[in-house]
Amino acid sequence: MPKRLSITFWATTFVIVVCASLVAIDGWRSWNARVQRLVDMERVTSNLARAMAQQADDTIKAADTSLTDIVERLETDGYGDAAVARLHRLMVEQAVNLPQLSGLFAYDETGRWLVNSRPEAQQPLLNNADREYFIYHQTHAGRGPHIGVPVRSRSTGQWIIPVSRRLNHADGRFGGVALATIDVDYFHRFYQSFDIGRHGAVALFSNDGVMLLRRPFNPDAVGASVRKSPVYLHYLAHNSGSDFFRSGQDGQLRFNSYLPLQHYPLFVTAALSKDEMLAEWRRDTWLHTLGVLLLALLLGLFGKRLVDQIRLRVRAEAELLQTRDALERLNSTLERQAMQDGLTGLANRRQLDVTLGNEFSRAMRHGEPLAFVMIDVDYFKQYNDRYGHGAGDDCLRALSTLIRTLTPKRPGDVTARYGGEELAVLLPHTDVDGAHAVAERIRAAIEALAMPHSGSPLGVVTVSAGVATIVPQRGVHLEGMLVAAADKALYAAKSAGRNRVCVAAEAALHS
């Protein structure tokens, strides 16, 4: 008869197996945590790069917009004293309104200062014909913007990034340069807001492989070539991406994310030190390893208690999950009720306002028409007075059901109760003819119901509707203009005798 193994053996075997499993699981968890940490590093650096690229693009775009205006005025109005004086006032105002600008300047074909954004009218007798940007435009006929290497300003002594455009005479000959200087400190302050650790780095490069700016800032590195650096070679090959690179500046191994600017021949990099990013993971791994060893030592003493605690915890988590699911269902029901009109079943004013804001923004981005139809029941007060408010509610429900069946069911289309007896229909991607057709179809269908209304001269329930359509433009239109225009058109329909559809005049959309 085989000898039965003792309970000690089984207990020892159990402890060894459990401890080995704990160590293996902890090792697997630690490795996955390391992988996740690197994934988080990629996400963080990518987000930093996107923020830097957007900030640089917006900053240069604002400066370039001012340059375009200066070029147009000089080439149109000429270099006369009156024209230059007007331009000087404009440049002073623009320099005040754009905090990133160190200054705005214009030079003639010899490099002599014509006018700048200094408040004093008298301009200094300086010549910038030797500057890189001046020579560039002198030798290149292109009219696009040129972004030069950062230099120290001759007027302020500060580090600046020059953004310039060529001026032409009427016959196409070189007529000078319009220049906007961006204060490097503006970028410094923005880059300083990022938490990149002690050994992280962020930088701005030209597509030609020239360093424009870097944090940490090193004046000797400004204008240096990075054409042989790994990050630049990867940028040439992939345009955007992320990878580990060892810096040629300080030898640090960093995880770099690089991204081009949308409108200008520049790209940015955001890099975090690999050692710094994994330092927390290393501490966490050591703590977990020590915890596992301690747990293995105490397993024999506290095993049963641990199992009981796990059982209680699972039960508590299950109860919490059930409670959470019940709350989510309740929240979903409350949210649906909060966005729906209780009487008509249509969307309520809150949902209409939210959808109108979203669709207005989408129409503005894509340059598409957005239509709004305001509908009002004719002589509804008289209907309530004659038939009672209960019958008035039934009337509104019947009309709402009919309108809902007659309106499109596309994403973004909303039929809502605007308030009282006023109903509204929001129609994205719809021009004025399409919106008028929908409104007329609704009006005719309601009239065809022949719902008796002795308080109306027509003898039946009818509606009036106002239609407004807009292709919103940023800085010109607000969403409230569309609603106001439709409301004016509705008022015009009522003033014209009711039971009709009126379209808002174009002027109503600009008031």
45 falls within a domain: yes
> Do 280 and 237 sit in the same domain of this protein?
yes
> Do 252 and 374 sit in the same domain of this protein?
no
Domain range spanning residue 394?
A: 349-510
> Do 285 and 383 sit in the same domain of this protein?
no
Domain end, chosen from 278, 304, 337, is at: 337
How far is it, in rounded angstroms, from Cα 356 to Cα 131?
52
Which sign does the torsion angle of CA 246, 257, 150, 194 carry?
negative
> Do 325 and 400 sit in the same domain of this protein?
no
Q: In sequence order, what DSSP letters do the residues of 296-362 get, joined into one string? A: HHHHHHHHHHHHHHHHHHHHHHHHHHHHHHHHHHHHHHHHHHHTB-TTT-SB-HHHHHHHHHHHHHH
438 falls within a domain: yes
> Do 280 and 393 sit in the same domain of this protein?
no
344 falls within a domain: no
343 falls within a domain: no
410 falls within a domain: yes
> Do 399 and 271 sit in the same domain of this protein?
no
Of 240, 255, 283, residue with least CA distance to 199: 255
342 falls within a domain: no
Is residue 283 within 8 A of residue 25, CB to CB? The reply is no
Crossing angle for the helix pair 81-97 and 7-77, to the nearest 10 degrees: 160
Supply the CATH number for residue 257's domain.
3.30.450.20
> Do 358 and 429 sit in the same domain of this protein?
yes
For residue 306, the model assigns a pLDDT of 46
Amino acid letter, residue 505? A
Is residue 227 within 8 A of residue 209, CB to CB? The reply is yes
For residue 290, the model assigns a pLDDT of 80
Domain end, chosen from 284, 306, 337, is at: 337
> Do 46 and 118 sit in the same domain of this protein?
yes
Domain end, chosen from 337, 367, 401, is at: 337
User: Residue 322 is encoded by which pair of tokens?
Assistant: 């059930």
> Do 91 and 10 sit in the same domain of this protein?
yes
φ/ψ bin of 191: left (φ > 0), alpha (ψ from -120 to 50), beta (otherwise): alpha
Is residue 440 within 8 A of residue 476, CB to CB? The reply is no
> Do 370 and 468 sit in the same domain of this protein?
yes
Q: Mind telling me the catalytic residues?
A: 421
Question: What are the b/e assignments for 240-266, b being 16+ CB within 10 Å?
Answer: ebbeebebeeeebebbbbbbbbeebeb
Domain count along the chain: 2
Residue by residue, pLDDT tens for the chain (511 residues) are 556 665 556 666 766 777 777 778 878 888 888 888 888 888 888 999 999 999 999 999 999 999 999 999 999 988 888 888 898 989 889 888 888 888 899 999 999 988 888 887 555 567 888 888 999 999 999 999 999 888 887 777 788 889 999 999 988 899 999 999 998 888 888 888 888 888 888 889 989 888 888 888 777 777 788 888 888 888 888 888 888 888 877 788 888 899 999 999 999 999 888 888 888 888 888 887 787 778 767 776 655 554 455 556 656 766 777 877 777 676 655 555 566 877 888 888 888 888 888 999 999 999 999 999 999 999 999 999 999 989 999 999 998 888 888 888 888 788 898 888 899 999 999 999 999 999 999 999 999 989 999 888 989 999 999 999 999 888 888 888 899 999 999 999 999 999 999 998 765 565 5
Supply the CATH number for residue 421's domain.
3.30.70.270
> Do 308 and 273 sit in the same domain of this protein?
yes
How far is it, in rounded angstroms, from Cα 193 to Cα 178?
32
How far is it, in rounded angstroms, from Cα 259 to Cα 414?
39
> Do 76 and 104 sit in the same domain of this protein?
yes
